[in-house]
């Protein structure tokens, strides 16, 4: 029998089991759907998880074996005996599985595979969509708050702290929010430092403290006239709008990415399609859910979009001698198009 085993502390585990636990393992196969949890977590796991069966460490013999060996060896031996009793011969594990367990599963055919729940998570249920909508609304509200306090001379650090505190007070956690200005905006993931100058990239990607679902949203705020930056921003906005316009169920991730690149290249800027080191130097987008970066990846992939997929569309342009611009929305795929979940004007002036 084949079984897939993954461990707690990951978005996939939470998605598969419906509960957040410590030091726990989920074994799932055609005839198996079992949680193995510390003794103190068993009652909570029975009441709070969606898994068919829950076993404690004691019930697989861990504490008895612990008398004669160290904790890790005792757990590995207990897991091996449990799997053999269930008739398991082949074990699949994700790449982030604890190495000491993987190495200890001697006697089994062990394969490292992509976590199957990563693909399942790409299509959101109606319940998940409502949670993401909630986070998206809070994210847009946070940007509106920040837009009201941003001005030349204020520090990026101060603005970051203010917007993250705003979100925390509303029930959301934001870390490493990007508030970057000047030529440092040419570094796409640099969170920013120093004083605000001619323009600011603000990238906010919080998650709910209650249910854990993320949103992702970026706008470039124009503070003072910068003709070259403004021209770049016009192109990026057009590219984002074009990318969103082609999204619908059944087209590929590559088609969305190419639509964005074609707009940018038509204005003479470079993209990764022509191996650029400056210009549009990242993918068009990524899935958003229990992680801020998950499936699908909107890049050079022939994976088809499906109704219910949630992802970002976030073209940008980055030049070291000028600076950078980016606009980003989170969208959900519909049968004949898509819905923008972070609706807000693209062109923003302080």
pLDDT above 70: percentage of residues in the chain? 100
Given 69, 102, 120, the domain boundary residue is 120
What is residue 290's predicted lDDT score, i.e. its pLDDT?
Answer: 98
Q: Do 42 and 177 share a domain, yes or no?
A: no
Looking up residue 277, the CATH number of its domain turns out to be 3.90.230.10
To the nearest whole number, what is the mean pLDDT of the chain? Answer: 97
Q: Do 153 and 296 share a domain, yes or no?
A: yes
- 62 pLDDT tier (thresholds 50, 70, 90): very high
Are 346 and 327 spatial neighbours (Cβ–Cβ below 8 Å)? Answer: yes
Q: Do 264 and 149 share a domain, yes or no?
A: yes
**Residue-wise pLDDT tens digits, 75-86:** 999 999 999 999
Three-state SS for the chain is CEEEEEECCCHHHHHHHCCCCCCCEEEEECCEEEEEECHHHHHHHHHHCCCCEEEECHHHCHHHHCCCCCHHHHHHHHHHHHHHHCCCCEEEECCCCCHHHHHHCCCCEEEECCCHHHHHCCECCHHHHHHHHHHHHHHHHHHHHHHCCCCCCCEHHHHHHHHHHHHHHCCEECCCCEEEEHHHHHCCCCCCCCECCCEEEEEECCEECCCCCECCEEEEEECCCCHHHHHHHHHHHHHHHHHHHHCCCCCEHHHHHHHHHHHHHHCCCCEHHHCCCCEECCCCEEECCCCCCEEEEECCCCCECCCCEEEEECCEEEECCCEEEECEEEEEECCCCEEECCCCCCCEEC
- 67 pLDDT tier (thresholds 50, 70, 90): very high
Are 273 and 97 spatial neighbours (Cβ–Cβ below 8 Å)? Answer: no
Length of the chain equals 350
Q: Do 168 and 270 share a domain, yes or no?
A: yes
Mean pLDDT, range 64-70, rounded to an integer: 96
What is residue 258's predicted lDDT score, i.e. its pLDDT?
Answer: 98
Given 67, 102, 120, the domain boundary residue is 120
Residue 40 CB contacts under 8 Å (≥ 6 apart), including other chains? none
Question: Tokens for 28?
Answer: 């799932």
Domain that holds residue 220: 126-349
- 130 pLDDT tier (thresholds 50, 70, 90): very high
- 283 pLDDT tier (thresholds 50, 70, 90): very high
**Residue-wise pLDDT tens digits, 175-202:** 999 999 999 999 999 999 999 999 999 9
- 266 pLDDT tier (thresholds 50, 70, 90): very high
What is residue 263's predicted lDDT score, i.e. its pLDDT?
Answer: 98
**Residue-wise pLDDT tens digits, 228-248:** 999 999 999 999 999 999 999
The structural domain count of the chain equals 2
Looking up residue 88, the CATH number of its domain turns out to be 3.40.350.10
Given 69, 92, 120, the domain boundary residue is 120
Residue 347 CB contacts under 8 Å (≥ 6 apart), including other chains? 222, 233, 237
Mean pLDDT, range 8-27, rounded to an integer: 97
Mean pLDDT, range 280-297, rounded to an integer: 98
Q: Do 183 and 251 share a domain, yes or no?
A: yes
What is residue 350's predicted lDDT score, i.e. its pLDDT?
Answer: 92
Q: Do 229 and 111 share a domain, yes or no?
A: no
Rounded-to-integer distance, Cα 234 and Cα 216, Å? 21
What is residue 128's predicted lDDT score, i.e. its pLDDT?
Answer: 98
The residues facing 33 across adjacent strands are: 28
Are 156 and 184 spatial neighbours (Cβ–Cβ below 8 Å)? Answer: no
What is residue 249's predicted lDDT score, i.e. its pLDDT?
Answer: 97
Are 33 and 50 spatial neighbours (Cβ–Cβ below 8 Å)? Answer: no
Question: Tokens for 345?
Answer: 């004007």
pTM: 0.95
- 329 pLDDT tier (thresholds 50, 70, 90): very high
Q: Do 151 and 281 share a domain, yes or no?
A: yes
Q: Do 104 and 151 share a domain, yes or no?
A: no
What is residue 156's predicted lDDT score, i.e. its pLDDT?
Answer: 98
């Amino acid at each position: 029998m084949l079984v897939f085993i993954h461990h707690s502390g990951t978005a996939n585990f939470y998605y598969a089991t419906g509960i957040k636990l410590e030091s726990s393992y989920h074994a799932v196969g055609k005839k198996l759907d079992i949680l193995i949890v510390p003794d103190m977590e068993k009652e909570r796991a029975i009441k709070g998880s969606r898994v068919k069966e829950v076993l404690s460490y004691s019930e697989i013999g861990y504490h008895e074996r612990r008398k004669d060996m160290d904790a890790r060896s005792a757990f590995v031996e207990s897991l091996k005996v449990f799997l053999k009793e269930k008739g398991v011969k082949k074990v699949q594990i994700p790449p982030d599985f604890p190495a000491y367990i993987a190495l200890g599963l001697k006697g089994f055919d062990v394969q490292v595979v992509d976590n199957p729940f990563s693909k399942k998570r790409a299509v959101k249920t109606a319940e998940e969509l409502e949670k993401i909508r909630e986070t998206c609304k809070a994210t847009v509200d946070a940007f509106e708050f920040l837009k009201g306090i941003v001005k030349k001379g204020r520090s990026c650090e101060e603005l970051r702290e203010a917007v993250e505190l705003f979100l925390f007070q509303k029930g959301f956690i934001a870390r490493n929010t990007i508030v970057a200005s000047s030529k440092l905006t040419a570094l796409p993931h640099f969170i920013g430092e120093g004083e605000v100058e001619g323009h600011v990239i603000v990238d906010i990607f919080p998650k709910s403290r209650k249910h854990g679902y993320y949103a992702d949203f970026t706008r470039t705020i124009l503070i003072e006239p910068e003709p070259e930056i403004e021209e770049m921003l016009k192109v990026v906005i057009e590219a984002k709008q074009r990318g969103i316009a082609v999204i619908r169920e059944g087209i590929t991730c590559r088609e969305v990415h190419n639509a964005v690149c074609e707009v940018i290249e038509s204005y003479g800027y470079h993209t990764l399609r022509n191996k650029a080191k400056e210009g549009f130097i990242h993918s068009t987008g990524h899935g958003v859910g229990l992680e801020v970066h998950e499936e699908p990846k909107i890049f050079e992939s022939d994976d088809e979009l499906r109704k219910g997929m949630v992802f970002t569309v976030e073209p940008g342009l980055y030049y070291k001698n000028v600076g950078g611009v980016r606009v980003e929305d989170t969208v959900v795929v519909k049968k004949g198009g898509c819905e923008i979940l972070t609706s807000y004007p693209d062109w923003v002036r302080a």
